[in-house]
Structure 1
Amino acid sequence: MTTLQHHTFNNPHPDLATGVVGAAIAQRFEILYPGLSNEFLGLFSYVSPEETLSIIGVGSEFQVETHKEGSTLRMRLMHRDVVERESTYRLDGGDLHEEVFRHAASFIDELRSFLSEHYRLPTSTVLLGGWRCGTHPENLEEPLIFTIPRITCRVSAEECQFSFFDSEECPYPGGAIVDLPRDISPNSQLRVSRRRDIPECREYIDNLVDLIGELSQEALDKVVICREVRLFHQSELSPLELLQMAASGKKTAHYEYVFRWSGGDAWVGVSPEMLVKKQREKVVVEPLAGTRKGSNFKDKSERYRNELLSDGKEIEEHETAARMFYDNLSSVCIPESIEQLESRGVLDLGYVQHLKSTITGQLRPDINVFHLLAAIYPPATIWGKPVLLSGARIRSHEQIERGFFTGGFGFFTLGDDANFALAIRTARMTGDEVRVYAGSGIVKRSDPYREWLETSNKMQPFLNNEFAVYL
């Protein structure tokens, strides 16, 4: 019988940000447990005025996997190399994200009872992972994946809580915090030998001119178009080092994360956008839409802020996204509980500024987090409105494969608490490439060249940090 053990230690560096401590522990895990880190490596850090946490996981004890073949969706629970549970669902050709989440809601409910009864896993057990953005549903083979790690560490300002499955392959992990370094600055540089923009600037602008010609004047007509920059580098660089590079010198983002499965490509991000946070029945969403350049100089920063707050195009883009969240929450929340706590506040990240709203609600008793995701994803902040028409426009006018970019990363627990970042400000590490992504919301009054500049600004954490060297 697999046994889950728990040990709690004082945070060795309570004066440091939990994300820094979490990243240091993740680096230590890679050294102590290289085999487990190759199976799965997850780091998910979150900071807000109310809460800071960092969750680190290595190895795969249990894994929820999905596989799509044509109109068939298979979901299974793996226990190491053994299939413990499997279900097959028929896709009816509607919105793929909604269907996947709706079937996941049913499958995960079954797993909660199974894992509790057969393995005595507590409701606090964390599943780390995420889902891909299906801009091309016919090509999306593995929509969603979540892992219960062999070793998990949850870092707060006061404590480091370790959970681990006892076995010879998974020894006592308390040594991970012995003499934990305070400084985890990268020891190397991102040495870029070549850069490739997909698409190139002229092609991007011509494409947006055509798209804008298709849009109506109505405020609800919006679509998000993304692009990609590929950096070909000559560096011995780990995903955790790339994360520290992207996070260096920046005002704190909501989220910092690294995810990698089976030694494959790593996804690294510094997302400022909360897709959803769920604690018991309470849910919070924080849409970001509407962007202006940022600056480290106070006078310029204030000028850009005032421009953002008075720009009709940016306000229209934001209001479209916020209204869509509000309306979609009404299908899963008690109607009178939905409240907009903040409207068009400004989130200043230093390199860019965003308009931000905060909306809360109380879920109905029959709703779990995957029912909630089925209702709110994809949001207008990364997709557009109307949803079906936006999907068709993305397929016609976007030239990249998003993968996990604009999907979601985070965790949920067997007790159904959850916290998911919208996977923006995110890069993919593959071989000798770092692929950096960004998108912007296009409405009738958009200026194509300004959208190019906006997406360039959003890529700055990866393209223009103090460790990036262009040869």
Structure 2
Amino acid sequence: MNTLKQSSYANPYPNLNAHELGAALLPVLERRFPKLASEFMGLFSHHTDGTRTSMIGIGSEFRLVVTHDGAHLNLQLQHEQAVCLAETVALDVSQLFHEQLFDAVARFVEQLRPWLMEKQGLPASATFLGGWRCATHPEYLSEPLIFTLPRLFCRISEEQLTFSCLHEDIWYAIDERLIASVADFTPTANPRITKREDIPACADYVDDLVGLLNELACTDADKVVIGREVKLTLERPISPAVLLRLVAPRPNPHYEFVFRWADQVAWVGISPETLLRKEKELLVVEPLAGTRKGSSEGEKNARYRQELTSDLKELEEHETAAGLFLEQLATVCENGTLDLRESRSVIDLGYVQHLKSLISGTVKAGLNVFNALAAVYPPATIWGKPLAVCGERIRRYEQIDRGFFTGGLGYFTLGDDANFALAIRMVKLTQSHIHVYAGSGIVKASDPYREWLETTNKMKPYLANEYVWNIS
């Protein structure tokens, strides 16, 4: 068993906050450790209670992987080519897929935690980075969940960088000279886009929503979320770190992330929404629902804000989402601890504005963060209500493969602290394409073309920013 080595360095770049330093350090570590980066590369930055933190992981020491064969979930803790722990769970077709997934992971984590801490000597702070895919079509989902405990891990605060590693051959390369090679980088060459494809096309998207609205008019369904995709063809490859630098606002008050496993597909995002975070016994969710576009012109922005806070459709959509979170959290929180700390406040992202609520509660004894996820995921903000009926409608009216889009990405520790961003405002990046995703909550009062425009506004960080996406 290797001994965990840790070392801290003062932040030598006081002009860079933790998010910026993380984004700048990621490509440095990728170049210094290309073999590790080919196994796994993760960056997760969050802004919680006024404090910015960035986490970077390179390489794969342990992996928590769940695969799906149609009838079973197969859970494994892997180390290199070896399987350390394993469990198989039969699925019940009468129950929601995600609920069964997280219930199974909750039990499995209770096995792997003592194994890793007692037999491998890992501390409670040891951090798994990763997430899960949104199973709109679970029958086609072969790997619904993956988390990686990196070989090299770095936690960045505003004041310092702390590295953790189990291996001497990696550890010797971590020193002040490596950190000194970090610089805030501004890309000098704009990415060139040679083709754009809307999936589905606008007319088809509107037609699908007309059909969906005809169904909703005759039912008691509250909301269904339908996503779409814009596929951009790249003239030449772009690195995930550069793409993040192009689209992330500075300073960024929310999440930004890059996740790439061995298949070379990267998921890059700047999500504004906390799905769930856990700090000791405290659970926090921050649903966003209800949208209006933003503007750099003060009067227009104020008018859009007023429209957002008074529009009955937007208010209905938000109350549906927040109300479902309250119902779900009540099942995993101690009686009397639920607290609606914010209700229908406005979060302004510049390109769009959202209604936001913040709900907290104390988790019941004996439950971990995955028990809580079993209760709250998928939220109405990315799925709808009622859940079972909405899943069936999404499968009929949505024409994309979501992948990690509208899943969750973030981290959990062996001590059961966790922070997961809802995976929105994100893209899938391959060598030749950028796949941009957005969704919209459809209620009976929705206007199909306005929903198209809303999804277009949500995609703006990737389709229209200070660096022009040149279409040849």
User: How far apart are residue 11 of structure 1 and its match?
Assistant: 1.3
1:124-273 map, 5 Å: 124-168=125-169, 171-175=172-176, 177-216=178-217, 221-248=222-249, 252-273=252-273
Q: Secondary structure at the match of 2:87?
A: strand
Amino acid at match of 2:266: A
Match for 1:174: what amino acid?
Answer: D
- Contact 1:217 / 1:444 at 8 angstroms: preserved in 2? no
SS in 2 for 1:178: helix
Q: Look up the equivalent residue of 2:21 and give its one-letter code.
A: V
Name the residue aligned to 2:6: 6
**SS of residue in 2 equivalent to 1:232:** strand
1:462 aligned residue: 462
How large is the RMSD of aligned CA atoms in angstroms? 1.4
| C-alpha contact 1:284 1:358 (8 A) present in aligned 2 | yes
**Aligned ranges 1:299-338 → 2 under 5 Å:** 299-338=299-338
Alignment deviations for residues 63-82 of structure 1 (CA, whole Å, 9 cap, x no partner): 10111101111111111221
| Paired position in structure 2 for 1:76 | 76
User: Residue 359 of structure 1: SS of its match in structure 2?
Assistant: strand
Unmatched tracts of structure 2, length 5 or more:
none
The CA distance in 2 between the partners of 1:392 and 1:402, in whole Å, is 15
Q: Percent identity?
A: 51
TM-score, with length taken from structure 2: 0.97
Partner letter of residue 362 of structure 1? T
| Deviations, residues 202-229 of structure 1 (Å, cap 9, x unaligned) | 0100110010011148886100000000
Q: CA deviation at 1:306?
A: 0.4
SS of corresponding position for 2:428 = strand
Q: Displacement of 1:299 after TM fit? A: 1.1
Q: Find the aligned partners of 2:144 and 2:237 in 1 and give their Cα distance.
A: 30
Write the deviation string for residues 131-186 of structure 1: whole angstroms up to 9, x where unpaired. 00000010011010000001000000111110011232554422475324442222
Q: Residue 272 of structure 1: CA displacement?
A: 0.3
Assess if the C-alpha contact under 8 Å between 1:293 and 1:352 holds in 2: yes
Return 343-352 or 45-54, whichever deviates more: 45-54
SS of match in other structure, 1:213 = helix
Structure 1 residues not aligned, in runs of 5+: none
Q: Which of 194-203 and 88-97 deviates more?
A: 88-97
- In the alignment, what sits opposite 1:446? 446
Instruction: Report the residue type matching 2:120 in the other structure.
Output: Y
Q: Relative to structure 1, is the Cα distance of residues 366 and 23 closer, same or farther in structure 2, using a 3 angstrom cutoff?
A: same
4+ aligned runs moved over 4 Å, structure 1: 217-220
Shift of 1:261: 0.3
Number of equivalenced pairs: 470
Q: Kindly indicate whether the alpha-carbon contact (under 8 Å) linking 2:238 and 2:431 is maintained by their aligned counterparts in 1.
A: no
User: Which AA in structure 2 matches 1:294?
Assistant: G
SS in 2 for 1:267: strand
Other structure's SS at 1:168 match: helix
2:124 is the alignment partner of 1:106? no
**1:28-47 map, 5 Å:** 28-47=28-47
Compared CA separation, residues 176 and 223, structure 1 to 2 (3 A): farther
Please list, as runs of the form range in 1=range in 2, the aligned pairs for 1:275-314 lying within 5 A after superposition: 275-314=275-314
**Structure 1 pair 15–431 and aligned structure 2 pair: CA distance change class (3 A):** closer
Q: Quote the residue 1:62 is aligned against.
A: 62
CA distance in structure 2 between the partners assigned to 1:218 and 1:345 by the alignment: 30
For 1:339 and 1:24, locate their aligned partners in 2 and report how far apart those are by CA, in whole Å.
38
Which whole-Å CA distance do the structure 2 matches of 1:217 and 1:458 have between them? 30
Alpha-carbon distance in structure 1 between the residues aligned to 2:375 and 2:428:
27
Shift of 1:49: 4.2
* Contact 2:63–2:79 under 8 Å retained in 1: yes
Worse overlay, 211-220 or 367-376: 211-220
Residues 205/198 of structure 1: CA separation in 2 closer, same or farther (3 Å cut): same
Equivalent residues of 2:194, 2:233 under 8 A apart: yes
- Counterpart of 1:120? 121
